[in-house]
Amino acid sequence: MSAPSLNKVLLIAPCGMNCGLCEAYLRVENKCPGCRGDDTNKPITRTNCKIKNCSVLKEGKTKFCFKCKKFPCDYLEHLDKRYRSKYNMSIINNLVQIEKLGIRKFIENEKRKWTCSKCGGTICVHKGFCLGCGS
């Protein structure tokens, strides 16, 4: 399998969320560019995200939360709890996998896990089905 492009790497948010699976990124109109992208078309919840705006991340001391001394912080634990219960995904586990395997291997695993077996489209983490074919 070829190495993921820089664009795919930039779609992994500091919290470990794969923005490429997000409903806001996958939609056609008013598409969000991902947490690391320009804030112009982002929903206010993404621009005001306490994790994304964390001082450790803003100062450039780390690119991912797992490198922070406070990992996992209260904000991350709260987000992880919501994602585990609503979307069957642990962003804390994502961060552990990124730290353990590296970003490129993590992205390769994500592609296998979230690619629709019927049409090859992307399964939306928030909807739980492929937005391309509905499977």
Percent of the chain exceeding pLDDT 90 equals: 60
66 occurs within a structural domain: yes
106 occurs within a structural domain: yes
Which residue is it, tokens 């406070």? 70
47 occurs within a structural domain: yes
pLDDT at 1: 44
93 occurs within a structural domain: yes
Inform me whether the pLDDT recorded for 76 exceeds 90.
Answer: yes
CA distances from residue 124 to 1, 55, 59, 60, 65 in whole angstroms, order as listed: 22, 30, 31, 30, 23
Task: For residue 58, name the pLDDT band (cuts at 50, 70, 90).
Answer: confident
Inform me whether the pLDDT recorded for 83 exceeds 80.
Answer: yes
41 occurs within a structural domain: yes
Query: SS3 breakdown of the chain: % helix, strand, coil, rounded to 5?
Result: 45, 5, 50
Query: Are 50 and 58 a contacting pair, CB within 8 Å?
Result: no
pLDDT at 6: 57
Per-residue pLDDT tens over the stretch 17-26: 999 999 989 9
Task: For residue 52, name the pLDDT band (cuts at 50, 70, 90).
Answer: confident
Mean confidence (pLDDT) of the chain: 89
122 occurs within a structural domain: no
Task: For residue 42, name the pLDDT band (cuts at 50, 70, 90).
Answer: confident
Structural domains counted in the chain:
1
99 occurs within a structural domain: yes
Q: Which domain holds residue 12?
A: 6-114
Q: Which range has the top average pLDDT, 51-55, 61-65, 81-85?
A: 81-85
120 occurs within a structural domain: no
